[in-house]
Chain A
Amino acid sequence: MRWIQLDRAKREPARQGCGALLVALALVWAMPASADTAAPASIKYPVAPEGAHAGKDVAQPIEFPHDIHTAVNKINCLYCHTYARRSKVAGIPPTSKCMGCHSVIATDKPRIKQLTEYWEKKQPVPWKKVHDVPDFVHFTHEKHLKKFIFDNDELVQNLSVDTVAPVCAACHGDLRTMTVAKKIKPMTMGWCVSCHEKNGGPGDCWACHK
């Protein structure tokens, strides 16, 4: 019964089908713009790219407490990671820098004792790498810091850990809440690109690929 009845419903399916296709067509027209290349006029902090990464807990030779140094003692990130504004790599601070303070401060703590041991043996601390980009990627800390920190007059005057850390946090997460660093951002190309689009970074492949 059903078969024959439906056979009689002559043109309806055609209308329905056409309607659906036209709606789809309209949807394509109405597709929203995703790439907004115009950067905001004044940037304090990078518009952080979206995405998260479930990073592993990395066992470091010394469990370095970023939170104590930054959140409690209010030491500026760039005080230790001093190469970041001068080179493409941010760099791990040399042991001499640690010892600059820790030859007098908190010398009795077990972590500091560990550190002193390395220092006395004249061995560099074998830190494990947490954040890395592939070798075919050219990433410079100095230019990113220039754009987000040093090109911003207001910030230069009162450069403190609380003004610098949010900039670093765009890629490294907020280290004020971590002990040892943990990778919590995906650091993938799409992630980089989304940030470049939002903040007006270069869209040229060769800006980043070498």
Chain B
Amino acid sequence: MMNLKLKRREFLQLMGWSTAGATLAGCDLPTTVTLEEGKEEVVAYLSPEEYVIPGVGVWYASTCLQCAAGCGIHGRVREGRALKLEGNPDSPVNRGKLCQMGQSGVQTHYNPDRLSKPQLRKDGKLVDISWDEAWKVLDEKVGAAAKTSGARVAWFTGTVSGHQAALIGEHLDALGSRHHFVHEVINNAVGRAVNQDVLGEAMPRLALDQAKLVLSFGADFLGTWVSPTHFATEYAKFRSGTRGVLVVAEPKMSLTGANADLWLAVRPGTEGMLALGIAHALMQSGVSVPDAARPAVAAYAPVKAAEITGISAQRIEQVAALLKQHSPSLVLAGATVEGQEQGYQAASAVMLLNVMLGNVGQTIVSSGEFPFPQLRPRTGNTRDLVAFAAAAKDKALDVAFFYGTNPVYTAPASLGLAEGLQNIPFKVVLTQFPDETAAQADLVLPVASSLEDWGTHVAAYQPEQGVITFQQPLMEGLYPGTPGVGDALLKLLKMREAQKYGAFNDYFSYLQNAVASLPEQYKASGLTNKQLWEQTLQKGLLTVDSAPGSLKTNVGEITLHEVKADAEYPLHLIPSPRLGLWDGRHANIPWLQEAPDQISKVVWDSWAELHPSTAARLGVREGDVVEITSAHGAIKVKVYVFKGVHPDAIAVPLGQGHEGYGRYANGIGANPLKILSPAIEARTGELALYGTRVKATRTGVHEELVKEGRNNISQRSRKLVVTISAEQFRRTEGV
């Protein structure tokens, strides 16, 4: 793979050697081989760079922005077109690997539904306007707000980091506002709070490869949790050699659960009790319990925990024994634990296990402090969504900028966000696509795709030493005039503080300057600024070492309340995230729509996973449409009968049910987020995403559920997947 030096933007100015259409097959009629001469035009280069050779692909390093994990990528560019993305082997996050969402970055970039022109609401309708007009309107409106009430301007974004985050901060500072709302549906905000309180660090490093046993309470680290591609690469190490044991306890089988050696179907909302039950069993076997947690642990003897969680006492004791036997281990809490009204307590109970087993310091280690606070990621959560909805409802905002998130789609209807937005006089949406939020906007600014843009990013989870990953354009923008996000921010800032930012032509020079002004300790010696810049782009990242601290083990008091049964709404709704469509942002990518769900193998649809016993009770079978009703709304989805879900739960995957997100996403399935109750996690103020109770009723409608391998779930005694026992494996391949 060639990683050639990048010089400014010159390589982008190439014209296509062959037009893209020419790649199309000619496999159809006629198959005559004589191609008429003089019909097609050959576009010759005007003045190409030395390394540009038509017909030869060149790889450039960049950063994947399909989720917030910050994987490094290499993009193959040929004749001015980005063709394929692969992992950057230099990146400590993904080590040259890339998940399906990352692979699909090219389809986000080339998406046919991308916006090419700014849109302004005129007479209630969004109409295309020119870029000049767009900037003018923006200047006027924000200028007006700045004059009267700069504090009433807000940014509402997804997870942002690096210089993007810094510029947003500076923009708000310039206006005198503090309203930066950061929202992600798939987050680990509660877990971060627990980590912060217990360990003293929000996101310590998890040495999965060192663990001999991983016990995951709904933490889908292979699919959607924190940094899935990284954990998948670590998982491979974890599974090789002596081969660690993976135990997963969750109410709905996730991708991680589907790889577990022991899968425990825990009653929704009782994971904390299960953790305490295991802790109790451990305590009985002589493991010491921190004093503060002793009462809680003592209260949940395995027999009692079994009663509550639905996991037999024998099993609980077995897990405890396994934990004791395989040390060090790693116990993780995921969204199903955290997304409850008592999520913080439950997650603390899980963390308690780590403390009791002495994992802190062994498999959970400090990641140190990232040296540049202004570049640190602003990690998304749902508390800000609630706060923003409230602020909007209270008419506390005049101008709102939206970027990297689609709150109108992700916010539960019960938050009243869509109505609240009516109260914000001027809403600016920076987006690539027309989405549900853009449909509410007053001004829609198309931004460059991640493959056309410059940027720096800092991942929330830093697997090794701290790195700033660099994003560089792989090709010329598809739609001329469309600014990068950084460029747009700079432009906004210049409108406010022309003298401070006037020196920077664009975000590119801003970043170059930022690298040049890096403190000397982070620069490799003997490099000029230009060399450093080129080397950084070539590698795609900049390492900024930070001394690791030490982790604390402050376990506090744990109080868990009983999960009450609800007669009217007997089922727990599990809005399960999918590796693929994620929180719905990738629903417009045809590859990901067509990629079967890892577990159910359903494509192009939503479905409700029901345990066979629940399905029998409701009298439904696969493909029957059920109506799922909560106190706050109802959705209709097809049933997928599946044993990997607790009978008290009904799981509906996230991602579908879009109404205004392009041809590939619209009109498919349903969005379970819409019917969530506005319940709040008591300690952190996060939305209790998994705390909604629903009932399911059959509608009598039946439609085929389109899925792969539709008639078979077993191998019919063929030797397709052959298994061997772990003992045998360890005997022969264990190191």
Contacts and interface: CB of A to CB of B under 8 A. Distances in A.
A128 B54 contact: no
A131 interface: yes
A58 B34 contact: no
Given A56-B37, A129-B38, A187-B33, A134 B26 contact: yes
Interface in A110-148: 119, 122-136
Given A94-B45, A94-B47, A135-B25, A56 B38 contact: yes
Residue of B23, B37, B41, B45 ringed by the most chain A CB atoms within 10 A: B37
Contact of B44 (A95, A130, A136, A186): A95
A74 interface: no
B55 A88 contact: yes
Contacts of A202: none
Given A87-B53, A89-B54, A188 B33 contact: yes
Contact of A127 (B22, B41, B54): B41
Given A93-B44, A95-B47, A131 B55 contact: no
B39 interface: yes
B24 interface: yes
B15 interface: yes
A26 interface: no
A136 B37 contact: no
B37 A87 contact: no
A88 B54 CA distance: 8
Nearest to B41: A126
Interface string B2-40: 000000000000010100001111110000011111111
Given A83-B54, A95-B44, A95-B47, A55 B35 contact: no
B112 interface: no
Contact of B38 (A53, A83, A94, A128): A128
Interface string A88-120: 110111111000000000000000000000010
Contacts of A123: 46
A189 interface: yes
Contacts of B35: 132-134, 187
Category for how many chain A residues contact B: 35 or more
A196 interface: no
B22 to A, nearest CB: 6
A118 to B, nearest CB: 9
A176 interface: no
Given A94-B48, A124-B43, A125-B44, A131 B37 contact: yes
A139 to B, nearest CB: 10
Contacts of B48: 94, 96
A85 to B, nearest CB: 10
A132 B46 contact: no
Contacts of B26: 134-136
A122 B40 CA distance: 21
Interface in B39-98: 39-48, 53-56
A86 B52 CA distance: 11
A35 to B, nearest CB: 20
Contacts of A83: 53-55
Contacts, number: 96
Given A133-B35, A134-B26, A127 B55 contact: no
B37 A129 contact: yes
A151 B44 CA distance: 29
Interface residues of B, number: 28
A14 interface: no
Given A133-B35, A134-B26, A86 B56 contact: yes
A128 B33 contact: no
A37 B22 CA distance: 34
Contacts of A135: 22-26
Nearest to B13: A122
B25 A136 contact: yes
Nearest to B48: A94
A33 interface: no
Contact of B53 (A86, A133, A182): A86
Interface in B213-232: none
A134 B39 CA distance: 13
A125 B17 CA distance: 13
Contact of A87 (B23, B34, B54): B54
Nearest to B31: A134
B37 A132 contact: yes
Contacts of B36: 56
B41 A122 contact: no
A123 B54 CA distance: 18
B56 A188 contact: no
Contacts of A186: 34
Contacts of B27: 136
Contacts of B23: 135
A189 B54 contact: no
Contacts of A126: 41, 43
B9 to A, nearest CB: 15
A210 to B, nearest CB: 10
Residue of A56, A91, A126 ringed by the most chain B CB atoms within 10 A: A91
Residue of A55, A96, A124 ringed by the most chain B CB atoms within 10 A: A124
Given A136-B26, A188-B33, A130 B38 contact: yes
B44 to A, nearest CB: 4
A128 B40 contact: yes
Interface in A62-95: 83, 86-89, 91-95
Nearest to A125: B44
Interface of A: 53, 55-56, 58-59, 83, 86-89, 91-96, 119, 122-136, 182-183, 186-189
22 contacts: A53-B34, A56-B37, A58-B38, A83-B55, A87-B55, A87-B56, A91-B17, A94-B47, A95-B44, A95-B45, A95-B46, A122-B46, A123-B46, A125-B44, A126-B43, A127-B44, A128-B38, A129-B37, A132-B37, A135-B22, A135-B23, A189-B33
Given A83-B55, A129-B40, 6 more contacts: A91-B54, A96-B47, A129-B39, A135-B23, A136-B26, A182-B37
